[in-house]
Amino acid sequence: MEAHLNNIITGVIATIIFYVFIEHILPHITGYITKIPNISGTWERIIDNGNNGYAEFKIKQTGNRIKANAKLHDGNQVREFIYKGFFYPNQLILTFEQKDAAKTNIGSSVFILDSRNSKLKGKHLYYHHDSNEIKTLDVEYQKILKS
């Protein structure tokens, strides 16, 4: 019985160590080896649709792994999107889904980081429920500098 309990405890500890290595240490090692810049912070894009729309994109980077959220402000409506993905030298690859949506809005995004590390330019690819079509959207985000 005691040997069985020791095996369970050893397995749990090994799982925790493996998780910490895969989720936290390995991304930092990958980021260091590939010498990718840190793009954590707030990014913004203006939406030219007559409603004074804009999107605020907050990125959290751990090595080459990215977690982000975006708030799309369009007139009186605010929609929030959750992103996950990877950042490789100058390439940001993400999947996203709309938070708290009546219909699940999901898609993917690919961005290129400019040489000054201040602009992300790319495309969103997503399924549009109302038109029943796959659509693309050209987007460009500007890094908001801390004051």
pLDDT for position 116? 93
pLDDT for position 50? 60
pLDDT for position 16? 87
Give the total residue count for the chain.
147
Exposed/middle/buried for 17, CB within 10 Å: 0-12, 13-18, 19+? exposed
pLDDT for position 52? 67
Residues 123 and 136 sit within 8 Å (Cβ to Cβ): yes
Residues 128 and 142 sit within 8 Å (Cβ to Cβ): no
pLDDT for position 31? 66
What topology does CATH give the domain 41-143?
Lipocalin (2.40.128)
pLDDT for position 36? 84
Place of tokens 């402000």: 73
pLDDT for position 51? 62
> Phi first, then psi: what are they for 6, rounded to 5°?
-60, -40
Low-confidence ranges of the chain (pLDDT < 70): 28, 31, 49-52, 101-104, 146-147
Query: Domain-by-domain residue ranges, the chain?
Result: 1-35, 41-143
pTM of the model: 0.78
